[in-house]
């Protein structure tokens, strides 16, 4: 592949809500730049970007994909991000490694949930932005309505650089408002384009749009603004000089109109990217630390090499691919780099350029390049890689908390080892997938960003690692405790089998401790009623019984046991006999002490637009939750509450439904509280049924 100077690289991240046409736009760019010989299609399953079987099945992106082409001697690197909130973190990581954010908005639907979320992120990352109003050829498409939507909800600095000629099935071309030129496109989706006169009925619209654009450019510079207020005009030279800087600083946000599937309006978009948007050299260099001091990672091929791993791909045949954005210096093939977080050197052979599911090979990668290396052992998403002689660490993005969990197990007995290996590799590929082993519930739990996320992961496990799994709701870690004190309870174990028998007797007092009190064992044996060496045996038997539960199979907590008397036999008493005595005595005591169940309660924090606050709070109340307070945070309201864990197992899809996908939440353990009697009866009954079956 041809080598490009850093000034001639453009890293474009396609972001937006699912279904807005990001992937189709990427396909049109690859076709127009000559990277593909035909226009790929998601619907026809010929897409370069959506190549995973799970993407083909769903007709949408679930993972970031890459492509590269050339336009007017500029290297255009395309990063096509998923628009489903289940895969938000993948899109976030990719955006952080980009230099240009192309926000794709449907001309039919306007601003949607992920439009707002990704726009906010692009602002936080300081990535120069543009808006692509796509699907102008569709029924009910309205460029004007969509433009008004993005200006009102995203930024008033969004101004059209191109406006459509026609709408719906009559959309055939665009007008470049600055150049005052019209371009008509072939109806067959080819890359044929012809300059044409501006339709007479559009002249006023073009002049109005040009005036709005020039005004925003003037506002980006004090000297230009002063001249503009005096003359109400700027020269073409002044506009051309000021525009890239205004875009770089976010003071000017171009909007263009396209139909990606018909390949209309895409070439003028590429012109704007190539001439007006920044290269990696134009952006503020990344800053890291080394030995506690700040280090500037200059975007120069001669500087020390520094890069960020922002995606990991697991392939059934080629193995693990690690995708790296080079910020500084040059990465050469057949060398290696230092992983700062792991404090280890990693070696590799080839440097690969990912293009859909294929890869080209290059000998070196410089600043701005996005490349991959294969089969690294230690390196994971988020790691900084650099030269061993200059160990620079770059800031990492905050981890994202999974919001939904399932228990899983292999469908086929004997696949446990294969499943363990598959889960380890899947978690390495996708940092938002969390795998935990719940020893108490004796189950493996998988957590992710939503039900679709988990379902897709399960499909990948089957396809890539040949393991089929079953999903079920995770077990709730209830606890058992007691209300009242009971005294003088006998625990007796006696067994005679012809030879040496088993004999042990203990007398116990059992009482509740305050919530969170744990377990206390007090020895009040006097006069050698039980020999000293077997007192710990009684305690061990009690602890074992506490772990197994008494009324519902859950751990007993917050209890004090006092042993005050007992009996033994010189021959038949033993460690095991007194363990059994302690266990039996404790079981009897708990049954007499009015036992009840505790349930885990979580702290819940919901962020949602103000108009959904009442519905969200009502739903929390229906889940037996208690609202603790509310506060404004930007445009949203934050509701803090405490809700039983059992009521939150499927909260993610429910909140999505209530808020139209605009609500988010975090949650974590708070404390244990008493489970209402009618619910406790169901839990106890289920345990008894299972116990009888066993």
627's enclosing H/E stretch is strand 626-633
- Is the pLDDT confidence value at 245 over 90? yes
Please tell me the predicted confidence (pLDDT) of residue 339. 96
Is the domain defined by 286-386 classed in CATH 2.40.30.10? yes
d(CA 25, CA 65): 13
Break the chain into its structural domains and give their ranges: 6-276, 286-386, 404-472, 480-593, 598-678
pLDDT in tens, 246-271: 999 999 999 999 999 999 999 999 99
Largest CA distance in the chain: 115
∠ CA(110), CA(116), CA(119), 5° rounding? 110
pLDDT in tens, 505-528: 999 999 999 999 999 999 999 888
Mean pLDDT computed over 360-365: 95
pLDDT in tens, 41-64: 988 889 999 988 888 888 889 999
CATH superfamily of 6-276: P-loop containing nucleotide triphosphate hydrolases (3.40.50.300)
- Could you tell me if 619 and 627 are in contact, meaning their C-beta atoms sit under 8 angstroms apart? no
Q: What angle separates helix 222-231 from helix 236-248, to the nearest 10 degrees?
A: 140
Please tell me the predicted confidence (pLDDT) of residue 694. 46
Domains 6-276 and 598-678 alike in fold: no
Residue 194's pLDDT band, with cuts at 50, 70 and 90, is very high
- Is the pLDDT confidence value at 692 over 60? no
d(CA 632, CA 609): 10
In the numeric block, the tokens 């690859």 are attached to 30
In the numeric block, the tokens 């509310």 are attached to 630
Which pair of tokens denotes residue 664? 């988010």
d(CA 640, CA 293): 39
* Structural class in CATH, domain 404-472: alpha beta
Mean pLDDT computed over 93-114: 95
Residue 360's pLDDT band, with cuts at 50, 70 and 90, is very high
Residue 484's pLDDT band, with cuts at 50, 70 and 90, is very high
Question: Which residue from 88, 72, 78 is spatially nearest to 29, judged by alpha carbons?
Answer: 78
- CATH code that applies to domain 598-678: 3.30.70.240
Give the dihedral sign, CA 283/361/70/189.
negative
Is the domain defined by 480-593 classed in CATH 3.40.50.300? no
Complete DSSP assignment for 177-217: TTTTEEEEE-TTSSS-EEEEPPPGGGHHHHHHHHHHHHHHH
- Is the pLDDT confidence value at 397 over 50? yes
Q: Other C-beta atoms within 10 Å of 644: how many?
A: 18
Which pair of tokens denotes residue 6? 């850093």
């Amino acid at each position: 592949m041809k080598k490009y100077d850093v000034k001639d690289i453009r890293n474009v991240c396609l972001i937006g809500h699912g279904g807005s046409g990001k992937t189709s736009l990427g396909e049109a760019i690859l076709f127009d730049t000559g990277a593909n010989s035909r226009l790929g299609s998601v619907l026809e399953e010929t897409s370069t970007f959506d190549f995973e079987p799970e993407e083909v099945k769903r007709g949408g992106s679930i993972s970031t994909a890459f492509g590269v082409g050339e336009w007017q001697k500029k290297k255009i690197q395309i990063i096509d991000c998923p628009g489903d909130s289940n895969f938000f973190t993948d899109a976030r990581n990719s955006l952080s490694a980009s230099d240009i954010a192309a926000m794709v908005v449907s001309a039919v639907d306007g601003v949607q949930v992920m439009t707002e979320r990704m726009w906010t992120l692009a602002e936080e990352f300081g990535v120069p932005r543009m808006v692509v109003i796509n699907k102008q050829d569709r029924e009910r498409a309205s460029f004007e309505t969509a433009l008004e939507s993005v200006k009102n909800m995203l930024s008033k600095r969004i101004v059209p650089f191109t406006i459509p000629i026609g709408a719906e099935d009559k959309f055939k071309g665009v007008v470049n408002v600055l150049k005052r030129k019209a371009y008509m496109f072939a109806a067959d989706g080819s890359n044929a384009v012809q300059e044409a006169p501006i339709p007479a009925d559009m002249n006023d619209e073009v002049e109005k749009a040009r005036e709005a654009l020039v005004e925003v450019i003037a506002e980006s510079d004090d000297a230009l603004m002063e001249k503009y207020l005096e003359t109400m005009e700027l020269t073409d030279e002044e506009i051309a000089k000021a525009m890239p800087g205004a875009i770089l600083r976010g003071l000017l946000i171009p909007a263009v109109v396209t139909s990606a599937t018909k390949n209309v309006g895409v070439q003028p978009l590429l012109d704007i990217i190539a001439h007006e948007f920044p290269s990696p050299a134009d952006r503020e260099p990344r800053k890291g630390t080394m030995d506690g001091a700040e280090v500037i990672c200059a975007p120069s091929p001669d500087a020390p090499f520094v890069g960020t791993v922002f995606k990991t791909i697991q392939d059934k045949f080629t193995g693990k691919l690690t995708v790296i954005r080079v910020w500084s210096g040059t990465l050469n093939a057949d060398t290696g780099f230092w992983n700062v977080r792991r404090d280890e050197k990693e070696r590799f052979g080839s440097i690969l350029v990912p293009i859909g599911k294929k890869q080209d090979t290059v000998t070196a990668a410089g600043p701005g390049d996005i490349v991959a290396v294969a089969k690294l052992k230690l390196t994971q998403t988020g790691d900084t890689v650099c030269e061993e002689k200059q160990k620079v660490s770059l800031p990492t993005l905050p981890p994202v908390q999974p919001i939904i969990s399932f228990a899983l197990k292999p469908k086929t007995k004997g696949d446990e080892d294969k499943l363990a290996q598959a889960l380890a590799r899947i978690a390495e590929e996708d940092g938002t997938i969390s795998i935990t082993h719940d020893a108490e519930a004796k189950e493996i739990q998988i957590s992710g960003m939503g039900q679709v996320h988990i379902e897709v992961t399960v499909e990948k496990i089957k396809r890539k690692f040949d393991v089929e799994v079953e999903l079920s709701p995770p077990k709730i870690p209830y606890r058992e405790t007691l209300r009242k004190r009971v005294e003088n309870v006998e625990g007796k174990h006696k067994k005679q089998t012809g030879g040496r028998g088993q004999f042990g007797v203990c007398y116990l007092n059992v009482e509740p401790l305050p919530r969170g009190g744990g377990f206390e064992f007090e020895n009040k044996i006097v006069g050698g009623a039980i020999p000293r060496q077997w007192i710990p045996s009684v305690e061990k038997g009690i602890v074992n019984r506490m772990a197994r539960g008494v009324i519902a199979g859950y751990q007993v907590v917050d209890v004090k046991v006092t042993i005050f008397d007992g009996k033994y036999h010189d021959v038949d008493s033993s460690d095991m006999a007194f363990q059994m005595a302690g266990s039996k005595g404790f079981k009897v005591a708990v049954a007499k002490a009015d036992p009840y169940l505790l349930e885990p309660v979580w702290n819940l924090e919901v962020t949602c637009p103000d108009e959904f606050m009442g519905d969200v709070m009502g739903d929390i109340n229906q889940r037996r939750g208690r609202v603790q307070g509310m506060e404004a945070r930007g445009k949203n309201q934050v509701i803090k509450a405490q809700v039983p864990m059992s009521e939150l197992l499927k909260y993610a899809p429910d909140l999505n439904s209530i808020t139209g996908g605009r609500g988010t939440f975090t949650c974590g353990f708070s404390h244990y509280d008493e489970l209402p009697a009618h619910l406790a009866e169901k839990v106890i009954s289920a345990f008894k049924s299972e116990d009888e079956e066993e």
